Structure 1
Amino acid sequence: MDEVTTQFLTNNQTTFDLALALLLGALIGLQRGWKARERKSGERIAGIRTYALVGLLGGIAALLANEVTAWAFPVILISLLGVTLIAFYQRLQETRNFSITGTIGLILTFCFGAIAVAVDPVPAVAAAVVTAILLDNKTEIHALIRKLEAHELDAGLKLLLITAVMLPLLPNTDMGPGGLLNPYEIWWLVVLIASVSFVGYFAIRMAGPAKGILFTSLFAGLSSSTALTLHFARQSQQAPELSPQFASGILIACGTMFPRILVYCLLINRQLLPSLVWPVVAMTVALYLPALVIWHFNRAALAVKRPLLGKNPLDLKTALAFGALLTAILFVGELLKDWFGNTGIYVLSATSAIADVDAITLSLTRMSHGSISADTAVLGIIIAAAVNNLVKTGLATSIGSAPLGVRVAGPMVLSMFAGLLAIWLQ
């Protein structure tokens, strides 16, 4: 390639980058101009033309900084900031309505233009699109903040704490018997469970009970199917005529536990999936299908109160307790495996699942990397899931109305046998 061709391509690339800087500014300006479209000419501080020119100015500033002097960029940026502040100050004197968002938007537009020319067009485009979306959804974002309660904000910050702060600090080193205990991996499992519960809580919280029993129960299964079982069982005593709907909801929530198991295996040890997928599918269908049938024939009254999943979607004490439980199960599981072989693992699965199925599921999936065989882990997980659902059947039968217990017990027992049969056929 000769020097003339190289120069031609370079000039064309520069032209393209400057055009992109102009378009990115126009994109943000389109949103800002649309918001102020009802104002008269002269009342708008900056619209599509201004933002487009600011994006182009950012590209030219970056080009001048590269080709002429490094001082070009900061001088132009400071000049733009000065002009912007003067314009917004005059606007403030006239309307007494000031928002810093417009100033930040102009500065960002200038920077996007510079990035598109001097760095990489891809992040510039992505950042400009995200900025336009944030600016366009002011009403929705403010409404979301108004709906957010103090304990929910606290839960979100705690989730960030255990994910972005605590997790990187833990050593990623195998410890304990057989190198089974890895602090980083154990805490990562805690973060995984906390995240699933967090998503499930807010899915119900934002949608509300008006979405119906199926939607509510589906996402309650992500947060706590046991909590939903207890809640619906109590409600069935107060309103026995709604027992079919409550039974349908309990079955949906308990069935949601099985897809969660597949997600855990996919993230931790996907080699288990071929052996686990069919038993899990069989147990899920054995719960979902009766739930949908019950719902179909009793769908006249679908709206139910949102299940009481606790005041806090994420509690650090609970997370720490779950981490301790995971560690204990991993340690005890290793001992039982050495003492009693696979039988010890199965006994541990059954006893642990009385209180919680997630801890034993994650523990067995972790152990399947080398401590136990894949077949043992799969059978242990299915035993744990079946026992956990039988425990919830007992809760529904003992606390709820008689019709609720009957409708829940049959599919639960069927689900257990379906899972064991699928393993035996494999």
Structure 2
Amino acid sequence: MTSTELRDAITLGVMAFVVLPLMPDRALGPYGALNPHRIWLAVVAFTAISWFGYLAVRAVGPRRGSVVAGFAGGFVSATATTATMARRCHDGERLSVMVSAALLASVATFLQLIGVLAVVDGALAGQLLPACILGAVVLVGLGLFGLRAYREPEPLEGIAVPALASAPDDHARRSAPTHPFSLRAAFLFAAVLTIASLVGEWAAALVGDGGAVLVAGLTGLADAHAGALAAASMSVAGDLPASTTALAVGAAVFGNMVVKVVVSFVVGGRRFGARFAAAVVPATAVFVLCAALSG
């Protein structure tokens, strides 16, 4: 274990075993929307899952390639990982491999979603587990199909693919997360979750349950997990029925999907964006449909 990994492990331990017990476990703030203990517990869960994702890619090593790096990067930020793979593709690397790596980052999103929801609302996590599994299966299936269907190097947007001997390992090493997590990302997640909880309660009080669904979708533009957890917190507090909560989680995932598709086109170009969207849009649609039916 490197000094950086040891420091991050200690930081995670402090977050979980020192800070968390100090957080008041009661409703605070306007509309009773904020439960500091529950919010920080979600942050700890999010950070811990990122940590274990990092350990997973460390276990298999960067030589396993870009697809493993994409999967591990998804536990840190699926949107950022999608942008990284899109940029590498635009720079001339194989289209099918980079798209598959980006899709696996979104698979990590589904897995992490279930993990963090289980901490806040176990019943909701169980309710949405089939939807997450089906969404992930669609992504993996279409990603594998893309790898099998396009075996030859594919230049993108007129850029020739360079002949590189060790570049795949080097690029995979650069794409893999170098930090288990960052405090900045953890605090940003906490801030987004706090704001989403406040605005969600306000919107629900103002215009009904549909307002909470809308806020979850808008929050998903920044972070799918924060939008989903804000809805789950409202459900646990008894402010949102189970059926509406499932719709809100679906809206958060849908909003995040829109951002990733836009990023894939803007950074990776038309071919990367089209291939990525052709897989992630159906997978998200399956998830949202199953989530809606589960309620």
2:254 corresponds to which residue?
A: 386
2:145 corresponds to which residue?
A: 293
Deviation at 1:335, TM superposition (A): 0.5
1:420 corresponds to which residue?
A: 288
1:4 corresponds to which residue?
A: none
Provide the C-alpha distance between the structure 2 equivalents of 1:273 and 1:225, rounded to a whole number of angstroms. 20
1:354 corresponds to which residue?
A: 221
RMSD: 2.3
What SS is found at the alignment partner of 1:314? coil
Instruction: For 1:328, give the aligned amino acid.
Output: I
Deviation at 1:299, TM superposition (A): 5.7
Residue 54 of structure 2 is aligned to residue 201 of structure 1: yes
Deviation at 1:313, TM superposition (A): 3.3
2:266 corresponds to which residue?
A: 398
Instruction: For 1:224, give the aligned amino acid.
Output: S
1:211 corresponds to which residue?
A: 64
Provide the C-alpha distance between the structure 1 equivalents of 2:125 and 2:178, rounded to a whole number of angstroms. 35
What SS is found at the alignment partner of 2:172? coil
8 A Cα contact 1:222 1:256, kept in partner: yes
Residue 23 of structure 2 is aligned to residue 170 of structure 1: yes
Following superposition of structure 1 onto structure 2, how do residues 3-402 of structure 1 map, counting pairs within 5 Å? 145=1, 148=2, 150-240=3-93, 242-273=94-125, 275-298=127-150, 304-308=171-175, 312-369=179-236, 370-402=238-270
Partner of residue 407 from structure 1, selected from 275, 282, 289: 275
Instruction: For 1:163, give the aligned amino acid.
Output: A
Instruction: For 1:350, give the aligned amino acid.
Output: G
TM-score, normalised to structure 1, is: 0.60
1:45 corresponds to which residue?
A: none
TM-score, normalised to structure 2, is: 0.85
1:111-163 CA-to-partner distances (Å, cap 9, x unmatched) read xxxxxxxxxxxxxxxxxxxxxxxxxxxxxxxxxx4xx1x43332222212212
Aligned length: 278
Instruction: For 1:389, give the aligned amino acid.
Output: M
Deviation at 1:288, TM superposition (A): 1.5
1:110 corresponds to which residue?
A: none
Deviation at 1:177, TM superposition (A): 4.1
Alpha carbons of structure 1 residues 421 and 325: separation in structure 2 relative to 1, 3 Å: closer
Q: Which has the larger radius of gyration?
A: 1
Deviation at 1:179, TM superposition (A): 3.6
Alpha carbons of structure 1 residues 338 and 394: separation in structure 2 relative to 1, 3 Å: same
Deviates more, 1:205-214 or 1:325-334: 205-214
Deviation at 1:269, TM superposition (A): 1.5
Instruction: For 1:165, give the aligned amino acid.
Output: V
Alpha carbons of structure 1 residues 385 and 282: separation in structure 2 relative to 1, 3 Å: same
Alpha carbons of structure 1 residues 297 and 209: separation in structure 2 relative to 1, 3 Å: farther
Provide the C-alpha distance between the structure 1 equivalents of 2:87 and 2:121, rounded to a whole number of angstroms. 38
1:334-387 CA-to-partner distances (Å, cap 9, x unmatched) read 110011112211221121111111111111112111110111111111111122
Q: Percent of counterpart pairs with the same letter?
A: 28
Higher relative contact order (CA 8 A, sep 6+): 2
Deviates more, 1:188-197 or 1:169-178: 169-178
